[in-house]
Chains A and B, each alone.
Chain A
Amino acid sequence: MKDFQAGENTGSIVSVTDKVRQVNIGAPVTSVQFLGDNAAFVGAEENVYLVNVQGDVSRVAVHSSGILCATTDGTRIVMGGDDGKLVSLDASGEVKLLATDAKRRWIDNVALHPDGAVAWSAGKTAFIRGGTNEEKSFDAPSTVGGLAFAPKGLRLAVAHYNGVTLWFPNMTAKPEVLEWAGSHLAVTFSPDNKFLVTAMHEPALHGWRLADARHMRMTGYPGRVRSLSWSAGGKALATSGADTVIMWPFAGKDGPMGKEPAMLAPLQARVSTVACHPKQDILAAGYGDGTVLLVRLADGAEILVHRNGSAPVTGLAWNAKGTLLAFATDDGEAGLLEV
């Protein structure tokens, strides 16, 4: 994306809505992932809708009922469902059953490691299956709220009530616990492996500097933070939850400690999803009123991708090259933009 031309006349916003390829999913979408250049719109129930660059839709049945979580490593999407199953889907449309919970519990969370290991959780138990297909499990003190693999080594962050446990499945050492009162949900490592951040049940983030477990409180949101995205190179963390995109600076050794976050793209609606461009200092933001904007991080310049007036934006993703943006709303309106 070389030509981010937001225009200097701030009176009217530059729009690329006419360049968006409309995709009709016809069912609620809860996330969007990319498998190469195919966009995968993950439905709230049963199906994933694979869409190629031309906009052709093919529906693939993956679960027998609700799809609770989904993630991708670029070659496959792994999903957990309320049918107690963990399944994967590749770009060719092939579905594989990876695991079935013995008690048919909901699979609430899933994470993928670049080397092929997969982690998932059901209730309080986190499971991991490495390249050798050996399965290991870890019981958290309370229900697992989120899972994330560290960027280096085989280390899994398990978020739960009152903190996060860092579990090293291949080591006998006792897992390390980072404590902070409250319910921790989504969890993410900074790409440089120096910080760990959780989105809490209350409208706040909590972070730890991993070297010394120093706390970072990131508060002030009007609503719960449900979407987190690291900017290219991990310089900042973009978040939903307010009526602007909140960007916490992570470039220095202290992370956001003692610093103000940047506030970009204010609207009269709450940001519901954020997706940073994989290579450039640009992000896409989806809002509760259906608006999708492209935002330049340097100066906050905006380009309109999708107008307001629909259900909340629930899925937003870039392909790995950063040439395609896909978005979808809670009522199944979706679009693809080549940039």
Chain B
Amino acid sequence: MPEPTSQKIPVTVLTGYLGAGKTTLLNRILSENHGKKYAVIVNEFGEIGIDNDLIIGADEEVFEMNNGCVCCTVRGDLVRILDGLMKRKGKFDAIIVETTGLADPAPVAQTFFVDEDVQKNARLDAVVTVADAKWLSDRLKDAPEAKNQIAFADVIVLNKSDLVSKAELAEVEARIRAINPYAKLHRTERCKVALSDVLERGAFDLDRILELEPEFLEAGDGHDHHGHEHHEHDHHHDHDHGHGLKHYHDEEMQSLSLRSDKPLDPSKFMPWLQNLVASEGQKILRSKGILAFSDDDDRYVFQGVHMMLEGDHQRAWKEGEPRESRLVFIGRELPEQTIRDGFESCITAR
């Protein structure tokens, strides 16, 4: 994307299973006195109690790109609406796209990867998922959509946390972390969360792919998870980190992190990554990485949604900064050993 990111309108995707509290959060964003004006793309008119001529009804129409890739789906209605909204540039500061409770966030995100006109004017800021503390554990068992939304999230608003016991809250958080250890998680009552925690996150900004560390508990609880992070995370058994958080393994959806302090061979790594997303892209929901290539003084960063990848040299490695490559994949039934072996084969022999 050659255009400067700052001039593009940020777009926040708001997902969440039925009844989790998306509309509550949306109403808060629109009614709070923040001096910003939001254009909102919703599925159901009338749920929002605020009169605003920048609330637009959408049809969630997904179509397949004609490139032979079945998971290359985009939201055609979103392309149309964003195009129309750009005629009123300057009348709003940001856009929020609310999806239905049963929606897969991927087509929305992919729209920003494939559509040239959308990319020119707007940028995907983050996928924010509102989850119901009381019912999420059940939904993760019976609703694949709910699991998708958690796996895809950059920010999770764990709502109605006042309606469950501490033990139940710990349980649902552990379930979330089993699927997605990387999203920022906020416990809320009635979606009371600082808007700066859900908006303007820059989660899809390549320059801000810095935090690839899992978030196990809220920041500042003093625990040190570097101890196990230097080695690969073991997902194969439930264990206790010593700070009260159970560690679950989700049979279907999981994350995989890879790490190497030896440089990668770009002539091996790039084809490997491209082949991996081409063959396993339906299973891989999100991918991100910071890479150290041999004979390259710049950090390379990439991110992907299913089969779509974007990447670029980001900046020079700093003096004293460990030249370490880190990759994260979140997906369903990831072929873990194949991915690990493939990654190992890209590490230079030196």
Contact with B along A33-60 (1 / 0, CB 8 A): 0000000000011000000000000000
Residues of chain A contacted by B116 (CB below 8 angstroms):
223-224
Closest-CB distance, B46 to chain A (whole angstroms): 10
Interface residue count on the B side (C-beta < 8 Å)? 25
Q: Which one of B25-33, B74-82, B235-243, B300-308 is at the A interface?
A: B74-82
B84 part of interface (Cβ distance < 8 Å): yes
Docked pose: A204 CA to B63 CA in angstroms = 16
Closest-CB distance, B97 to chain A (whole angstroms): 16
* CB atoms of B61 and A202 under 8 A apart: no
* CB atoms of A161 and B76 under 8 A apart: yes
B200 part of interface (Cβ distance < 8 Å): no
Docked pose: A182 CA to B77 CA in angstroms = 13
* CB atoms of A66 and B76 under 8 A apart: no
A201 part of interface (Cβ distance < 8 Å): yes
Of all chain B residues, the one with the shortest Cβ separation from A181 is: B66
Contact A224/B117 with A202-B65, A202-B66 known, Cβ cut-off 8 Å: yes
Residues of chain B contacted by A161 (CB below 8 angstroms):
61, 63, 76
Contact A68/B61 with A108-B80, A143-B77 known, Cβ cut-off 8 Å: no
Closest-CB distance, A83 to chain B (whole angstroms): 8
A28 part of interface (Cβ distance < 8 Å): yes
Docked pose: A182 CA to B64 CA in angstroms = 7
Contact with B along A279-312 (1 / 0, CB 8 A): 0000000000000000000000000000000000
* CB atoms of B87 and A45 under 8 A apart: yes
* CB atoms of B84 and A143 under 8 A apart: no
Residues 94-141 of B contacting A (Cβ, < 8 Å): 115-117
B88 part of interface (Cβ distance < 8 Å): yes
Which of B61, B85, B88, B115 contacts A143 (CB under 8 A)? Answer: B61
Docked pose: A103 CA to B57 CA in angstroms = 10
Closest-CB distance, A252 to chain B (whole angstroms): 27
Closest-CB distance, A309 to chain B (whole angstroms): 18
A198 part of interface (Cβ distance < 8 Å): no
Contact with A along B52-80 (1 / 0, CB 8 A): 01001101010111110000001011011
Docked pose: A47 CA to B61 CA in angstroms = 31
The A interface, classified by DSSP as helix, strand, loop or mixed, is loop
The B interface, classified by DSSP as helix, strand, loop or mixed, is mixed
Of all chain B residues, the one with the shortest Cβ separation from A44 is: B87
Closest-CB distance, A80 to chain B (whole angstroms): 10
Interface residue count on the A side (C-beta < 8 Å)? 30
Docked pose: A143 CA to B65 CA in angstroms = 16
* CB atoms of B80 and A182 under 8 A apart: no
A24 part of interface (Cβ distance < 8 Å): no
Residues of chain A contacted by B84 (CB below 8 angstroms):
66, 68, 82, 106, 108
Closest-CB distance, B182 to chain A (whole angstroms): 32
* CB atoms of B61 and A30 under 8 A apart: no
Residues of chain B contacted by A124 (CB below 8 angstroms):
59
Of all chain B residues, the one with the shortest Cβ separation from A226 is: B117
Of all chain A residues, the one with the shortest Cβ separation from B83 is: A68
* CB atoms of A182 and B66 under 8 A apart: yes
Which of B64, B79, B88 contacts A65 (CB under 8 A)? Answer: B88
Residues of chain B contacted by A239 (CB below 8 angstroms):
none
Docked pose: A227 CA to B61 CA in angstroms = 24
Contact A143/B80 with A66-B88, A123-B59, A224-B117 known, Cβ cut-off 8 Å: yes
Residues of chain B contacted by A45 (CB below 8 angstroms):
87-88
Docked pose: A47 CA to B330 CA in angstroms = 49
Docked pose: A105 CA to B58 CA in angstroms = 10
Residues of chain B contacted by A182 (CB below 8 angstroms):
63-66
Of all chain B residues, the one with the shortest Cβ separation from A68 is: B84
Docked pose: A22 CA to B277 CA in angstroms = 52
Of all chain A residues, the one with the shortest Cβ separation from B77 is: A143
A142 part of interface (Cβ distance < 8 Å): yes
Residues 162-207 of A contacting B (Cβ, < 8 Å): 162, 181-183, 200-202, 204
* CB atoms of A67 and B87 under 8 A apart: yes
Residues of chain B contacted by A223 (CB below 8 angstroms):
116
Of all chain A residues, the one with the shortest Cβ separation from B79 is: A201
Of all chain A residues, the one with the shortest Cβ separation from B56 is: A106
Of all chain B residues, the one with the shortest Cβ separation from A67 is: B87
Residues of chain B contacted by A200 (CB below 8 angstroms):
66
Residues of chain B contacted by A181 (CB below 8 angstroms):
64, 66
Docked pose: A66 CA to B56 CA in angstroms = 13
* CB atoms of B76 and A143 under 8 A apart: yes
Docked pose: A12 CA to B185 CA in angstroms = 63
Closest-CB distance, A69 to chain B (whole angstroms): 9
Contact A183/B76 with A124-B59, A142-B61 known, Cβ cut-off 8 Å: yes
Residues 53-103 of A contacting B (Cβ, < 8 Å): 65-68, 82-83, 103
Of A65, A124, A201, A202, the most chain B CB neighbours within 10 A belong to A201
Q: List 28 A-B contacts (CB under 8 A).
A: A28-B87, A44-B87, A45-B88, A65-B88, A66-B88, A82-B53, A82-B87, A105-B57, A106-B56, A106-B84, A108-B84, A123-B57, A123-B59, A142-B61, A142-B63, A143-B59, A143-B76, A143-B80, A145-B76, A161-B61, A161-B76, A162-B63, A182-B66, A183-B76, A202-B66, A202-B67, A204-B66, A224-B116
Closest 9 CB pairs of A and B: A44-B87, A66-B87, A183-B76, A182-B66, A66-B88, A183-B63, A161-B63, A142-B61, A68-B84
Q: Give residues in A with beta carbon < 8 Å to B.
A: 28, 30, 44-45, 65-68, 82-83, 103, 105-106, 108, 123-124, 142-143, 145, 161-162, 181-183, 200-202, 204, 223-224
Q: Give residues in B with beta carbon < 8 Å to A.
A: 45, 53, 56-57, 59, 61, 63-67, 74, 76-77, 79-81, 84-85, 87-89, 115-117
Beyond the given A142-B63, A201-B76, please list 15 additional residue pairs across the A-B interface where CB-CB is below 8 A. A44-B88, A66-B84, A68-B87, A82-B56, A83-B53, A103-B57, A106-B81, A142-B61, A143-B77, A145-B76, A161-B63, A162-B63, A182-B63, A183-B63, A204-B66
